Amino acid sequence: MIRREILALLRGAVATVWHGFVEEIVTIEPCESPLPESAERVVGTLGFAAPGLRGTFTTVVPTGILAPFAEEMGPVSRGVAMADVAGEQANMIVGRLKTGLMPLGLTMKCSVPGTSIARHLRIETRDPGDESHWFSFQLRGERVLVCL
């Protein structure tokens, strides 16, 4: 189908959104689904569906990368602020994916973002036959993971 186009759109959307946040060039590479060691991470997810296509966008970000943005948000807890940033990033990335799919004739619907903050994360795909694709990139010396 149009899998290549979708993955290219995802990579472009992730690079654009993160570049806007950190003003660094983001180079995204395919990877296995290894989750980082026990460091604290923020997970943002957003479900989507289109005719013949459905899934979840997931991002796994070290809290050290999101903490500076959280501090700018004023009088809310650090955790709430980081979760808000991760959710908003997931929303912006999937929104760009949705816009990019329109010229291909796919109209996509999206859920609201969900977030959590945890240590010792373990994310598994639904079953061996699904088509999850993991990507990673480095920001400020830390590894960020995204999955579609």
Q: Are 21 and 89 in contact (CB under 8 A)?
A: yes
Residue 141 has pLDDT above 50, yes or no: yes
> What share of the chain has pLDDT > 70, as a percent?
90
Ranges assigned E (strand) in 4-139: 29-31, 41-50, 53-62, 109-110, 114-118, 134-139
pLDDT at 33: 62
- The Cα 8–Cα 130 span in angstroms is 19
pLDDT in tens, 52-104: 778 888 888 888 888 887 777 777 788 888 888 888 888 998 899 889 888 88
pLDDT at 35: 62
- The Cα 107–Cα 134 span in angstroms is 23
Residue 11: which of 31, 37, 34, 39 has the closest Cα?
31
**Single pTM value for the model:** 0.82
pLDDT, the chain, mean: 81
Kind plus residue range of the DSSP H or E element containing 144: strand 142-147
pLDDT at 1: 45
Residue 122 has pLDDT above 80, yes or no: no
pLDDT in tens, 6-28: 888 888 888 888 888 777 777 78
